[in-house]
Amino acid sequence: MQIPLEIKFDDVDSSGWIEDYVRERAEKLDRLCDNLMSCRVVVERAQHSHQTGNPYRVRVEVTLPPKKDLVADKEGTVGDPHVQLRPVIRRAFEAMEKQIQKETAKRSGAVKNHFVETPTALVVRVFPEEGYGFIKSPTDSEEYYFHRNAVLHDDFDRLTPGTEVRFEPNMGDDGPQASSVQIIGKPGATPVEEPEGTEAPDGWEAGEPQ
């Protein structure tokens, strides 16, 4: 946890065992989410509550990067807060655990989907001396220009016609171009012949990264 746990008591006497239990549950949240920024817990006597008797509320506030706030609160009728507050605290933290798990799963799914949806293509032409080439996407049959500086891990010299790559498509001023070009497959068996007169688009200097 990047910011120390904050525990606040509102119209409730602080108690060592309550603080210890809250810290125990907060540590579980911290283990559940390895990038937890902060956690604030409020234990209070509930005002204007739908609960009858002697209602108490436990509120758990958590911040995940980048400034994503989650809130969970639970109420319960408590006769002796030094004995009966534990179930209310537990329910509030359980509700927060579910929210964190849901948010973590959503973020993981977004990253996974982004990875899956990143297009792939085959290198169709490479001009080593000039420092650029072209790849072609099988999904849209579009050709994308790429500069040697757009190839990850300094792998430009490894590219040959037929090499399978993953890339980020962009639309430049002079047409489609590729960035973050990464080799993901071995070169194909059948090279693609270089047609005469194929040059880099106007405006793309051989020494300029794209």
3-state secondary structure of 90: helix
pLDDT at 52: 56
Which of the pair, 175 or 157, is modelled with greater confidence? Answer: 157
pLDDT at 43: 92
Residues 133/146, Cβ–Cβ less than 8 Å: yes
Structural domains in the chain, CATH included, are 6-116 (3.30.160.100), 120-183 (2.40.50.140)
Report the pLDDT averaged over residues 18-47: 88
Distance, in Å, from the CA atom of 113 to the CA atom of 163, rounded to the nearest integer, reads 24
Helices (H), 155-206: none
Report the pLDDT averaged over residues 62-82: 80
| Opening angle at CA 162, ends 160 and 164, nearest 5 | 100
Please state, in angstroms and as integers, the Cα–Cα distance from residue 132 to each residue in 18, 51, 166, following that order: 65, 71, 16
pLDDT at 84: 73
Report the pLDDT averaged over residues 143-167: 91
Report the pLDDT averaged over residues 190-204: 46
Give this prediction's pTM: 0.51
